[in-house]
Copies of this chain bind each other. A is one copy, B any other.
């Protein structure tokens, strides 16, 4: 699927995917929950933030590198976990992992990936890998996943807390979405058919049935403590949207919080993740690392999130569009564009290092209406 188009920004990749991916897959990737209010907000909320660039600061040498949980990455943008990437490209998660390694950042593998924990580790032996965890009703399944992630040298567990059940994405319901027959939930290959397939449901999306029957909606903060007990891997709590839950995450031993609304795919009507970032930054007050995902599409989006206090951001869909465009190479291109855009944005804003990006760099657009 290599192409000779002129891809100059991330939206070009989405447009490509819209034209070339099969509809079921594209819809699954693109959709937000219900009326997609939050999906639009994730993009628009960034537009309401305004940058206050500073000049004449010698920006000849920029250094975009930073660390997350102590591990170095070449720039503060990681790959968010997204399910079933082989629908975008036969190489799926393996391609994504290689792309992340190629540009020097972290790849987060989803529990419900179409490539297994081990395959991805092999494909990306030196890259930084995190494993995203959904907790299954059968705790042995969960524990087994943790063990395999440890063994395959994933460096953190990303516990997604916003998904006791799956949100309703209308297009998937209309399409009666299911995982194409030739694909498997690769982390469950050896398990029963129930957990390694997403079958066609009678009504709505097969994925909703999958999650409803397998995920455990009864988990509480105590399960975080349980996880902490069974593994030494640092825990990133993904999906926090309130200061209150951020405090609870801290109390229960989270090493980091990933502010996220799951790409607007769970509860429609929640604010953009970047809108809630400030209240969480304020509550956490430096006691753990804070990341953000949702709607990051340009270098200036990254700059804004960092200025508001995120240590790094993650991107979900753009990688899928990159895969759809050209597998590993496409995914690399996506990450490189973001990196270059961030580099340029930093230069134009007067920042040489990530630590130069402070809260003085960003204001809400309402700031100016008060002047």
A344 touches which one: B168, B365, B368 (CB < 8 A)?
Answer: B168
State A176–B39 Cα separation when bound (angstroms): 33
Q: Which residues of B contact A303 (CB under 8 A)?
A: 269
Contacts of A349 in B (CB 8 A): 267
Q: Is the CB of A58 within 8 A of B242?
A: no
> Residues of A within 8 Å of B, CB-based: how many?
76
A299 to B34, CA, bound (A): 9
Task: Kindly state whether residue A298 has any CB partner on chain B within 8 Å.
Answer: yes
Q: How far is the CA of A266 from the CA of B53 in the complex (A)?
A: 10
Residues 1 to 22 of chain A near chain B (Cβ within 8 Å)? 6, 8-9
Q: Which of B34, B174, B218 contacts A59 (CB 8 A)?
A: B218
Give residues of chain A (224-270) contacting chain B, Cβ–Cβ below 8 Å. 224, 239-242, 244-245, 248, 266-270
On whether the beta carbons of B348 and A52 are closer than 8 Å, the reply is no
Given A269-B50, A269-B304, answer yes or no on A56-B8 (Cβ-Cβ < 8 Å).
Answer: no
Q: Name the B residues within 8 Å of A170 (CB-CB).
A: 8-9
A164 within 8 A of B: yes
The answer to whether B345 and A267 touch across the interface, beta carbons within 8 angstroms, is yes
User: What residues of B have a CB within 8 angstroms of the CB of A6 in the complex?
Assistant: 173-174, 176
Given B58, B167, B270, which contacts A51 in the complex, CB threshold below 8 Å? B270
Once A54-B244, A54-B245, A173-B8 are accepted as A-B contacts, the answer to whether A60 and B217 lie under 8 Å apart by CB is yes
